[in-house]
């Protein structure tokens, strides 16, 4: 994984030098060359309500140990929070914040030896009058104290000093002095050489792992999280301390950090308490990337995603896209926990297998609409995960990662997911709630991937398992009762579905005898229709009514129940005017399962 991340950083020319990092900056203090304050400009997409600013690819950065060695008030250079740069805060700044502000201005004055315009910028934030004007303008733009700020000089080239390379060598030299250059060389020489996990070379291990940003919405910290850390003794072994237990060089650490930050920012997709990022061995057009198709946002894009997956797979198999045959994909599922990056899954494989898996995911989830009018759009991943729980925040993160893995790797649907979907579907039936297409589709996908090729998207009267036909019987009993008696409140479905779906032998015989009383109340046409339907279903079951049903058989029962209802609703809508028996079935099933 680390090797591929480092290769990604190098291939995409991401900043991977220690002491430099990409940063998103929301505000720029505009001054002329002499430091006269002009205005404050908002960077990035100003029309976006959640604007995070403009990305600067090469900003100066100090690690936490360097900041500690730098002494009181030590801060970053050129880019920092508004409270540090402009003393923007709600109350009077305390001594600690004043020290940080003074240190920041001092760095600007020190760097003016190689970049003269920085002296004017230092003067702008040191002069009380100009500083007050900057603060007033930031407040009028509703800037927050924690948002990043940099400088711009409109008349200079480049406009933003952070984009210039004039300060780079000065910054490298400054970092070497933190803690004393002599002490730094002595510590480097005393550090034992260890084998780098990513490169395999003997290196001096980076003392502290850099922070990965962008996981604060999935359990991470706003300041970032470490991919590996060793604060407790239990995490250490063989006499190693801290990062030597998972050694990488400082350059490798900077490279994987740059890659992860870039991937989280550009490809990160929320997935029930986790975030999925992915990349490819060779860059491909966004229109050929199949992973976003699993997380589409609306019905039209879902149907289009399924079509594109099939078309792309056909083109690859026909030899029309030879470059994709040798490509590979990589995907990480990440979350944060107590300042650490949790790698919940890492997937890699041939690109063509990924497209095959995405196509199979859509095919296996295919299910008839609850109104019987064709098949439902393939649900997005969050809809599938949301079908397992009352609220997505209650979904266990490992389960979400396993369902995602099943989609990407064409693996069996986790039994835990099937059991939760079955429980939720049973609850919907008993409460008379509308069927959830993603929930029913996931049950079908589970059975298909367990080898049940007879489980079609629509009703299959020839399915070999009697559990499936027991579910069909339950749907017909409900429709028959409503046809005979109308709305009786808690009908046979509400009273007997739970028992019939687990111990059908104890229930279906009794319901069959009760059905005779309901048939006697129908007209000849209705009675003839229901008698024929019941006889057809019983001919599939014969004397094989199961005493108890396993979880898999309960899924078959639920799908038989659902598909019989959907079939009857579709028949009602397609029937010629005056066909009363299908109408009766539709009325009852619409009453029991409002769509």
Q: Which pLDDT tens digit goes with each residue over 161-189?
A: 999 999 999 999 999 888 544 444 444 44
**Nearest-angstrom CA–CA distance, 375 and 562:** 13
Of 439, 472, 495, 502, the C-alpha closest to 564 is: 472
**Nearest-angstrom CA–CA distance, 20 and 124:** 25
Of 206, 100, 82, 90, the C-alpha closest to 147 is: 82
Helix (H) or strand (E) holding 337: strand 328-337
Rounded to an integer, the average pLDDT of 220-232 is: 81
Please tell me which residue, 138 or 244, carries the higher pLDDT value: 138
Share of the chain above pLDDT 90, in %: 56
The pLDDT of residue 460 is 95
- 16-27 confidence digits (pLDDT tens): 688 898 889 999
The pLDDT of residue 299 is 46
**Nearest-angstrom CA–CA distance, 465 and 545:** 10
**pLDDT tier for residue 303 given thresholds of 50, 70 and 90:** low
Whether 263 has a pLDDT exceeding 70, the answer reads: yes
Count of CB atoms within 10 A of residue 132's CB? 13
In the numeric block, the tokens 């020319």 are attached to: 13
C-alpha torsion angle, residues 573, 577, 582, 587 (rounded to 10): 70
Rounded to an integer, the average pLDDT of 46-71 is: 88
Question: At what angle are helices 168-177 and 95-111 packed, to 10 degrees?
Answer: 130
Rounded to an integer, the average pLDDT of 443-472 is: 95
**Nearest-angstrom CA–CA distance, 244 and 227:** 14
Rounded to an integer, the average pLDDT of 522-541 is: 91
φ and ψ at residue 168, rounded to 5 degrees: -65, -50
92-101, 200-209, 480-489, 511-520: which is most confident = 92-101
- The answer to whether 158 touches 94, Cβ cutoff 8 Å, is no
Whether 260 has a pLDDT exceeding 70, the answer reads: yes
Count of CB atoms within 10 A of residue 547's CB? 8
**Nearest-angstrom CA–CA distance, 336 and 356:** 31
595's tokens? 């769509």
The pLDDT of residue 297 is 56
- 191-205 confidence digits (pLDDT tens): 578 888 788 888 887
The pLDDT of residue 207 is 74
286-295, 302-311, 352-361: which is most confident = 352-361
The pLDDT of residue 296 is 63
Mean pLDDT of the chain: 87
Rounded to an integer, the average pLDDT of 246-268 is: 88
Rounded to an integer, the average pLDDT of 144-149 is: 94
Rounded to an integer, the average pLDDT of 498-518 is: 91
**pLDDT tier for residue 123 given thresholds of 50, 70 and 90:** very high
Pick from 21-30, 204-213, 512-521: least confident: 204-213
The pLDDT of residue 183 is 46
- 540-583 confidence digits (pLDDT tens): 998 889 999 999 999 999 999 999 999 999 888 877 445 444 44
Count of CB atoms within 10 A of residue 84's CB? 26
Whether 365 has a pLDDT exceeding 80, the answer reads: yes
Rounded to an integer, the average pLDDT of 318-339 is: 91
């Amino acid at each position: 994984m680390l090797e591929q991340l480092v290769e990604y950083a190098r291939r995409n020319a991401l900043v991977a030098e220690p002491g430099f990092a990409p940063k998103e900056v929301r505000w720029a203090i505009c001054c002329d060359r002499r430091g006269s304050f002009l205005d404050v400009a908002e960077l990035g997409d100003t029309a976006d309500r959640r604007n995070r600013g403009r990305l600067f690819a090469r900003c100066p950065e100090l690690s936490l140990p360097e900041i500690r060695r730098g002494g009181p008030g030590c801060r970053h250079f050129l880019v920092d929070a508004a409270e540090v740069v402009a003393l923007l805060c709600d109350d009077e700044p305390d001594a600690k914040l004043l020290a940080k502000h003074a240190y920041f201005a001092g760095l600007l004055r020190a760097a003016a030896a190689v970049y003269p315009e920085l002296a004017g910028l230092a003067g702008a934030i040191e002069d009380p009058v100009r500083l007050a004007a900057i603060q007033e303008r930031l407040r009028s733009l509703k800037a927050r104290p924690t948002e990043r700020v940099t400088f711009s000089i409109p008349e200079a080239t480049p406009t933003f000093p952070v984009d210039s390379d004039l300060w780079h060598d000065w910054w490298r030299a400054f970092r070497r002095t933190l803690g004393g250059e002599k002490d730094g060389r002595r510590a480097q020489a005393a550090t034992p050489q260890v084998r780098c996990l990513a490169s395999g070379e003997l290196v001096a291990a980076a003392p502290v792992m850099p922070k990965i940003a962008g996981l604060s919405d999935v359990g991470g910290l706003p300041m970032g999280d470490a991919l590996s850390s060793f604060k407790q003794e239990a995490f250490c072994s063989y006499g190693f301390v801290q990062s030597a237990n998972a050694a990488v060089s400082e350059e490798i650490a900077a490279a994987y950090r740059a890659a992860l930050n870039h991937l989280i920012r550009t490809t990160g997709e929320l997935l029930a308490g986790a975030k999925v990022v992915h990349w490819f061995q060779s860059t491909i057009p966004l229109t050929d990337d199949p992973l976003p198709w699993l997380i589409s946002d609306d019905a039209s894009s879902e149907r289009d995603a399924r079509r594109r997956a099939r078309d792309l797979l056909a083109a690859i198999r026909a030899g029309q896209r030879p470059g994709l045959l040798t490509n590979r994909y990589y995907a990480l599922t990440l979350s944060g926990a107590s300042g650490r990056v949790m790698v919940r899954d890492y997937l890699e494989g041939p690109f063509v297998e990924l497209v095959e898996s995405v196509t199979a995911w859509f095919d296996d989830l295919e299910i008839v609409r609850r109104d019987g009018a064709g098949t439902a759009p393939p649900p997005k991943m969050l809809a599938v995960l949301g079908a397992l729980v009352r609220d997505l925040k209650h979904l266990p993160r490992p389960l979400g990662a396993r369902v995602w893995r099943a989609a990407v790797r064409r693996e069996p649907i986790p039994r835990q997911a099937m059991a939760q979907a079955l429980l939720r579907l049973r609850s919907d039936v008993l409460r008379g709630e509308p069927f959830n297409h993603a929930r029913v589709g996931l049950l079908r996908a589970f059975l298909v991937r367990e080898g049940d090729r007879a489980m079609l998207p629509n009703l299959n009267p020839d399915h070999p398992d009697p559990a499936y036909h027991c579910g069909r019987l339950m749907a017909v009993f409900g429709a028959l009762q409503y046809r005979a008696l109308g709305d009786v409140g808690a009908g046979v479905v509400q009273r007997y579905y739970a028992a019939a779906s687990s111990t059908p032998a104890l229930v279906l015989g009794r319901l069959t005898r009760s059905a005779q009383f309901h048939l006697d109340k129908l007209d000849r046409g209705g009675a003839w229709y229901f008698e024929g339907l019941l006889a057809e279903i019983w001919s599939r079951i014969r004397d094989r009514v199961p005493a108890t049903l396993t979880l898999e058989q309960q899924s078959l029962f639920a799908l038989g129940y659902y598909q019989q209802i959907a079939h009857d609703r579709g028949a009602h809508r397609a029937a010629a005017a005056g066909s009363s028996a299908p109408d009766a079935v539709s009325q009852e099933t619409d009453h029991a399962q409002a769509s």
